[in-house]
Structure 1
Amino acid sequence: MKSTTRNSETPILDVKGLNVEFWVGGEWVTAARDINYTVMPGEVLAIVGESGSGKSVSSMTLLGLLPKNGRTSGSAKLNGVEMIGASQSTLRKARGNNIAVIFQEPMTALNPVFTIGFQICEALRVHNPTMLPQDARARALELLTLVEMPDPEKAFNSYPHQLSGGQRQRAMIAQSLSCDPDMLIADEPTTALDVTIQAEILELLRNLHARLNSAIVIITHDMGVVADLATNVIVMKQGDIVERGEVREIFHNPQHEYTKKLLDSVPHLGRGEATGKAAVEYDMEPMLALENVTLEYPKHGRVPAFKAIDNASFTIHPGEIVGLVGESGSGKTTIARAAVGLLPVAGGSMKLNGIELNGISRSDMAKLRKDIGIVFQDPGSSLNPRWPIGESIAEPLNLAGGFTKEQISKRVEELLDQVELPRSFRNRYPNELSGGQRQRIGIARALALEPKILVADEPTSALDVSVQKRVLELLLEIQQRLGFAVLFVTHDLALVDEIANRVVVLNHGKIVEQGATDQILRKPQDPYTKRLVMAVPVPDPDEQVARRQARTASINLEEVAKAQAAAESAKPAADEPASE
């Protein structure tokens, strides 16, 4: 492997006058304009901005990864070598060896038909043709150990689908580090991860950065991640750099209005009490009531039945928003599926508007569904791409029956008004709308039959922070006006802090804690809840440092307690003689 000693006074990357354009609809459209910046050894540069700001395309240009309809101009020198207009041999030599990418979604970036070990070894041997297979294997295991993979040997022989999301991201980081690159480009590396896994990956990147002195360019719209990891920040808007500076300067004294707007849009855990939440009358009959509920996925072929939820009890009242939180696999979506009748109740009682769902017939469930609205996580895949928006919004009305064409048309226009979209949008198709606009359509469709309860499953996780803020404000505004209950399924505790009246915390199918939002998020009692709260990055560099230190101290105390408990259990009982 090459030496990791680098000249700290010479830029690893020097970008000057970089422009990126795409041929769209018979004309060249600018995606990035006159981009200038340098990246020094050991620097962590965050490039932030909303979707379409040009942050990703300007970085992918450095590796020659633009689609065929793209073109570039300007200069980008990597260790003094020009990358703009470089030959394929130059690019191949640089990729992985001098510059590597950690992509947003490892499941699509890793080859599903090859093991993790094979893919890491392949990267090693491409850049080191004389490396022996056994040496590549040893180096791959060393890299998997470096990124703190729980069981490196097992992961080496595993396929991507056999690993969790956090483990796949670690495997991708290991592959990216295989040739000791001078610079890493991390493109939204933690967006799809739970907060605890996100905290672990950020800690891993921080440790690797300190150990290897590699430069990191992190592309993100998560200002909490920026506060946690970055040393310098570039803010992009519609292809232009509108502000740049040291991370504390950007957070504490932003100059550009767009930067101020971005920071203002970020939910900040600990400040949710300032948001006006609807008052709830808890003496009313609950809209959704779970009592000792068990939910199971039935046996499928050789796969045995799996108990996803065990003995869960909580309620949601009219006009109340309850946040259902926990990591992936905790059972959040399972409860949401059961609440809308997509999964049978295996045990206990689940009542929707006073009607028992355990054992309910299909016909009765079909009648009850008019009282339920659903907002899905990905509005793009939940809308029929072949239908105009108006038809998608009208679908629940058509399925319910009893409405004339005129009534349906009028209701569609009313719903578009409610979600603040022009009525002319009813004739557009989903691909003609932005992500935020599609999510507004999803909300409009969910409200078509004036439901008494809305189930929102990660409804804003795919949106930029400013769009997310406006969609949530809109949802809250409609909810407080119409008074329906909301089951808000998410792993984002900062969002829950802003909008929820109460919080239910799930861990491996069991409710470990529930109560008022202020109580759960400010004074958590269960160790799992404490760990979740401490893992949430906040958009303040100084506060984030303090939280990270507290989290590390807490983890160390837990490890000490576990070691002490293990030592105690290993001691012979007082009435037993010690073994010779």
Structure 2
Amino acid sequence: MSAHAPEHLDVRDLTVTYPTRAGDVRAVDGASLSVAPGEALVLLGESGSGKSTLARTVLGLPGRGARVGGAVRLSGTDLLTLGERALSDVRGRRIGYVPQDPDAALDPLRRVGAQVTEVLRRHRVAESRRAARRTVPDLLEVAGIAEPDRVARSHPHELSGGQRQRAAIALALACAPGLLIADEPTTALDALVRGRVLDLFARLRTDRGIALLLVTHDIRVARRIGDRVAVMRAGRIVEAAPVEKLLTTPEHPYAAALVAAQPGGLR
């Protein structure tokens, strides 16, 4: 299946505010970043820093009651001005999303192949249901699944954690998006499977020119996959730099503290 045109993500002065009984809480506070085609930007920070909120806001899913300001542009399309119908078309077709927990992406009651088929049909990528079914094994294989026919016939609970995560990646890649957002995609995986998933992301960037925004708390992931790293703290991006520069000579005290916490990453 041919990929869509590579996408360029540009986020400027993004704010995400939630009303609470105690007053407004600003989860993202004036954050700006960009991801070019074929580039990997790692959004690094502790739990609660706002990195997942930023990623989900790019998808148009900031959460109930959120007030969003600033600009989010995908190759010139202002995503913050789109209605839900237009956004749902962007999600999956132009932006693929891999959540931390693959069970959040997979329906436990349906076979994996049927779920991938539905995505292809919903976004009108395949001309017929039969054509969509024929595409499923290839998509699962692209996601690094060694037995695509068996996995396609399986329910999620019949798969290992690594296989479920790869099935979730196949769902995200089904429509050949130009931007992939991955939110802590390797947290629950062992070191071997984690490395294979990150290698898969690297191949997608090389082979398809896909832009990758990867959210993580793990400095090892940033070192392995990132071109650039943006460090978030309390909703703000406190430092952004090429990965080797940030991990060897960080300038912001918070970024320096994260690097000093190596090799285990953040807890």
TM tier relative to shorter chain: over 0.9
Q: Mapping of 1:427-438 within 5 angstroms?
A: none
Is residue 16 of structure 2 the alignment partner of residue 28 of structure 1? no
Q: Give the aligned partner of residue 244 of structure 2.
A: 248
Q: Which 5+ residue runs of structure 1 have no aligned equivalent? A: 269-463, 469-580
Q: Give the aligned partner of residue 201 of structure 1.
A: 197
Q: Mapping of 1:140-539 within 5 angstroms?
A: 140-267=136-263, 465=266, 468=267
Spell out structure 1 runs of 4+ moving beyond 3 A.
1-6
Q: Give the aligned partner of residue 75 of structure 2.
A: 79
Larger radius of gyration: 1
Q: In the alignment, is the contact (CA less than 8 A) between 1:107 and 1:161 conserved in 2? A: no
SS of alignment partner, residue 239 of structure 2? strand
Aligned Cα root-mean-square deviation (Å): 1.5
Determine the C-alpha separation between the residues in 2 that align with 1:191 and 1:151. 23
SS of alignment partner, residue 74 of structure 1? strand
* Cα offset, 1:26, TM superposition: 4.5
Determine the C-alpha separation between the residues in 1 that align with 2:194 and 2:161. 10
Q: Mapping of 1:80-99 within 5 angstroms?
A: 80-99=76-95
Cα 1:110–1:3 change in 2 (3 A) is: closer
SS of alignment partner, residue 139 of structure 1? helix
Alignment equivalent of 1:108, drawn from 69, 93, 104: 104
Q: Mapping of 1:57-76 within 5 angstroms?
A: 57-76=53-72
Q: In the alignment, is the contact (CA less than 8 A) between 2:106 and 2:156 conserved in 1? A: yes
- Output one character per residue of 1:253-287: Cα deviation in whole Å (capped at 9) or x when no partner: 1001101111111236xxxxxxxxxxxxxxxxxxx
Residue identity matched to 1:244: A
Q: Which 5+ residue runs of structure 2 have no aligned equivalent? A: none
Q: In the alignment, is the contact (CA less than 8 A) between 1:49 and 1:237 conserved in 2? A: yes
- Output one character per residue of 1:16-69: Cα deviation in whole Å (capped at 9) or x when no partner: 111001111252111111111111000000000111111110110111212212
Cα 1:69–1:140 change in 2 (3 A) is: same
Number of equivalenced pairs: 267
Determine the C-alpha separation between the residues in 1 that align with 2:26 and 2:72. 18
- Output one character per residue of 1:467-519: Cα deviation in whole Å (capped at 9) or x when no partner: x4xxxxxxxxxxxxxxxxxxxxxxxxxxxxxxxxxxxxxxxxxxxxxxxxxxx
Determine the C-alpha separation between the residues in 1 that align with 2:178 and 2:104. 25
Determine the C-alpha separation between the residues in 2 that align with 1:115 and 1:95. 22
Q: Give the aligned partner of residue 472 of structure 1.
A: none
* Cα offset, 1:108, TM superposition: 3.0
Q: In the alignment, is the contact (CA less than 8 A) between 2:220 and 2:263 conserved in 1? A: no
Determine the C-alpha separation between the residues in 2 that align with 1:193 and 1:150. 17
Q: Give the aligned partner of residue 295 of structure 1.
A: none
* Cα offset, 1:178, TM superposition: 0.6
Cα 1:187–1:15 change in 2 (3 A) is: same
Determine the C-alpha separation between the residues in 2 that align with 1:168 and 1:98. 22
Q: In the alignment, is the contact (CA less than 8 A) between 1:4 and 1:213 conserved in 2? A: no
* Cα offset, 1:109, TM superposition: 2.4
Which of the pair has the greater relative contact order for Cα pairs under 8 Å at 6+ separation? 2
Residue identity matched to 1:21: T
Identity %: 37
Residue identity matched to 2:179: M
Q: In the alignment, is the contact (CA less than 8 A) between 2:125 and 2:175 conserved in 1? A: no
Determine the C-alpha separation between the residues in 2 that align with 1:5 and 1:101. 17
Residue identity matched to 2:161: G
Is residue 14 of structure 2 the alignment partner of residue 18 of structure 1? yes
Residue identity matched to 1:219: V
Q: In the alignment, is the contact (CA less than 8 A) between 1:104 and 1:190 conserved in 2? A: yes
SS of alignment partner, residue 80 of structure 2? coil
* Cα offset, 1:148, TM superposition: 2.2
- Output one character per residue of 1:120-173: Cα deviation in whole Å (capped at 9) or x when no partner: 111100111762112101111111111221210000010000000000111111
* Cα offset, 1:5, TM superposition: 5.0
